[in-house]
Amino acid sequence: MLRVALIGYGAAGRTFHAPLLRHATGVELAVVATSRGDELALALPGVEAVSSPQDAISRPDIDLVVIASPNATHAPLAAAALRAGKHVVVDKPFTLSLADARALAALAEASGKLLTVFQNRRWDSDFLGLQAVLRAGRIGRVTHLESRFDRFRPKVQDRWRERAEEGGGIWFDLGPHLVDQVLCLFGLPQRVGGRLANQREGARADDWCEAWLDYGGLQVTLSASVLVGGGMPRFAVHGTAGSWVKHGLDVQEDQLKAGIVPESTDWGVDRQPAQLYLGEGNALIEPLPAGQYQAFYAGVRDAICAGAANLVPATQAIGVMAVLETVVEAARRGGLLPLPLTAAECAAWPGGAGVGAPGRAS
């Protein structure tokens, strides 16, 4: 049995990590480091609450530390856990700088411990469906992809994600998912650019972003906003033979918030199909595979206990961090910039073969 300590019981820890860990075979959520001890006792009876991350990290009976605390704490807590001899899962973003990402990856390699990033949206229903369409070549050679996460939250909230502090803002909140999915599909771009903006009255951190990934014959646009009511397409992908369009978000986050777990009927089933446009013909309705967030912790378990491949290796997290950081610099300077990666770091991603695999689903 893999015994786990979860650091943080805020939005990420409470919504995603705790329920997925509790329903993963061969995994036991034993300890949570949180200031919400009373809330934890009601929600997860039998799980011990401790007051500080170090209390959880130093426990000799813990095999895996999951870090779901504020973004600025990810790198130091992950480093502390690795030095304590623990395997580590870090929520996105992996770190706040490329330098920290490289340092953590090197520390994990030296320690011989697993280090991975919670890129759960590799197992979104729509993303799995898009991969299948691209692998089959149904829209021909892909020329343009638009991917976006939109919400309508016109009121600025007093929380760390929306403050003008390191790790705040929508780009570091949602950008890691947008970037990781595209790198899974197409590998690393030649150049990146972007824009960040504070659009709501009283906004202290970026609440709108747009990034451009230049692959030459393929152009990718990534965006996120909190002032979009009604919704734009989640994905719009265009190629030489047609287009694939999907509206609406994957349902697994809402299901977890509602107490629905992976064993439940209709888990991960998106009732809003995609549309496939071939040539000038009418749209074909494209049902989607069920989402599989449960595959992440099954993969972590298998990597630690059975020597299986790490589904989201730190080497890939370095590439995501390079895109995030370079887009910020490109927005500051204007124009497009190449990624400051070594040849070895570039080799962690597929090299323009069209579609890469998100990892083995269990």
The mean pLDDT value for 295-320 works out to: 98
**pLDDT score for 351:** 64
Same domain, yes or no, for 341 and 239? yes
| Token couple for 84 | 């304590």
DSSP state of 227: B
- The answer to whether 123 and 295 are in contact (CB under 8 A) is yes
Same domain, yes or no, for 171 and 269? yes
CATH code of the domain covering residue 198? 3.30.360.10
Same domain, yes or no, for 145 and 285? yes
How high is the mean pLDDT of the chain? Answer: 93
The mean pLDDT value for 322-343 works out to: 96
- Express each pLDDT in 238-276 by its tens digit: 999 999 999 999 999 999 999 999 989 999 999 999 999
Same domain, yes or no, for 68 and 136? no
**pLDDT score for 292:** 98
- Express each pLDDT in 201-213 by its tens digit: 888 787 889 999 9
Same domain, yes or no, for 180 and 237? yes
DSSP state of 142: E
- Phi and psi torsions of 73, nearest 5°: -90, -10
Q: Is the residue at 359 inside a domain?
A: no
Q: Is the pLDDT assigned to residue 359 strictly greater than 60? A: no
The mean pLDDT value for 284-304 works out to: 97
Of residues 147 and 281, more confidently modeled: 147
Q: Is the pLDDT assigned to residue 35 strictly greater than 50? A: yes
Q: Is the residue at 92 inside a domain?
A: yes
Q: Is the residue at 130 inside a domain?
A: yes
CATH code of the domain covering residue 68? 3.40.50.720
Q: Is the pLDDT assigned to residue 358 strictly greater than 60? A: no
Sign for the CA dihedral angle at 257, 262, 265, 266 comes to positive
Q: What SS3 class is residue 76?
A: helix
Domain that holds residue 51: 2-118
Sign for the CA dihedral angle at 244, 357, 319, 162 comes to positive
- The answer to whether 165 and 173 are in contact (CB under 8 A) is no
Q: Is the pLDDT assigned to residue 352 strictly greater than 70? A: no
**Cβ neighbours of residue 281 closer than 8 Å, sequence gap 6 or more:** none
> Over the Cα atoms of the chain, what is R_g?
20
Same domain, yes or no, for 78 and 144? no
pTM (2 decimals)? 0.94
Q: Is the residue at 94 inside a domain?
A: yes
Query: Cβ-count burial of 353 within 10 angstroms (0-12 exposed, 13-18 middle, 19+ buried)?
Result: exposed
Range with the lowest mean pLDDT among 9-13, 51-55, 133-137, 352-356?
Answer: 352-356
**pLDDT score for 165:** 73
Q: Is the pLDDT assigned to residue 357 strictly greater than 50? A: no
| Distances in whole angstroms, Cα of residue 187 to Cα of each of 62, 164, 183, 243, 352 | 35, 31, 4, 21, 6
| Distances in whole angstroms, Cα of residue 225 to Cα of each of 91, 125, 145, 155, 201 | 21, 21, 18, 13, 14
* Of residues 71, 258, 77, the one with CA closest to residue 162: 71
Q: How confident is the model at residue 122 (pLDDT cuts 50, 70, 90)?
A: very high
| Distances in whole angstroms, Cα of residue 246 to Cα of each of 145, 155, 202, 308 | 12, 27, 33, 33
Q: Is the pLDDT assigned to residue 232 strictly greater than 80? A: yes
Same domain, yes or no, for 244 and 155? yes
Tell which of 53, 87, 118 closes a domain. 118
- Express each pLDDT in 14-23 by its tens digit: 999 999 999 9
Same domain, yes or no, for 212 and 157? yes
Q: Is the residue at 137 inside a domain?
A: yes
- Express each pLDDT in 162-206 by its tens digit: 676 777 888 999 999 999 999 999 999 999 999 998 878 888 787
Number of domains in the chain: 2
Same domain, yes or no, for 47 and 175? no
Q: Is the residue at 312 inside a domain?
A: no
Q: Is the pLDDT assigned to residue 360 strictly greater than 60? A: no
Q: Is the residue at 155 inside a domain?
A: yes
Same domain, yes or no, for 143 and 105? no
- Express each pLDDT in 44-67 by its tens digit: 999 999 999 999 999 999 999 999
**Cβ neighbours of residue 161 closer than 8 Å, sequence gap 6 or more:** 168, 169, 173, 205
> DSSP E strands: which ranges in 78-225?
87-91, 115-118, 142-150, 191-197, 208-214, 219-225
Number of helices and strands (H, E) in the chain? 12, 14
Same domain, yes or no, for 90 and 188? no
The strand pairing partners of 118, in sequence order, are 91
**pLDDT score for 27:** 98
Same domain, yes or no, for 134 and 267? yes
* Of residues 128, 358, 126, 136, the one with CA closest to residue 239: 136
Of residues 139 and 352, more confidently modeled: 139
Q: Is the residue at 57 inside a domain?
A: yes
Residue type, 204: R
